[in-house]
Every structure is written in C-alpha cells, then in structure tokens.
Amino acid sequence: MAVSFDLQTFILRARVLKLYRQAVRVAKRAPAHSKGELMQTIRQEMEKNRDCNDKQKIRYLISEGIERLKGLDEMLDMQGR
C-alpha cells in the first residue's frame, strides 16, 4: 500500500532523512571507543520522535538536531578527526 504525503510532509521527511545521514557520517569520524555509543544515541533520538506528526515540532527537532550536529562536528574537527 502506497502512502501519500502532502508536499510539506514530503519535504520534512526528506530533511529528517538528510539530517540522519549527516549525523551518521559525522559519527563515523568519532573515536572507535565512542563511535558505537554515538551511533546508538543517534538512532534512539530518531526512534523516539518517529511517530511525531506535528509539523512545527518536527521543524524544531530538525533545527535542534542541526545545531547539535554542528557542535559535534566542530568538536571532532578540534580533535583532528
């Protein structure tokens, strides 16, 4: 059964998937001893909000995720990873 989305939902879904892919890429740069825990945390955060249908909350979560990801990316850059 095909699920149909309106345009806004489709775009939000694409943004969430993009954020997840970016987070996984950044997590792969983490030190080996913390990489598994970081990947698990990313997965848990995504799963925790999987059933959210409030578009405003989804936009907020995306912006929060981007900010957290930027912080992690900068931290890994400072470590030379």
Q: Which residue has the tokens 């925790």?
A: 48
Decide if pLDDT at 19 tops 70.
Answer: yes
Decide if pLDDT at 1 tops 60.
Answer: no
Q: Phi/psi zone of residue 52: left (φ > 0), alpha (ψ -120 to 50 degrees), beta?
A: beta
Instruction: Report pLDDT for 79.
Output: 87
Residue 36's pLDDT band, with cuts at 50, 70 and 90, is very high
Instruction: Report pLDDT for 54.
Output: 95
**22 compared with 5, residue with greater pLDDT:** 22
Kindly report the pTM of this predicted structure. 0.88
Rounded (10°) angle between helices 55-78 and 7-27: 20
* 63, two tokens: 């912006």
The predicted model gives 28-41 an average pLDDT of 93
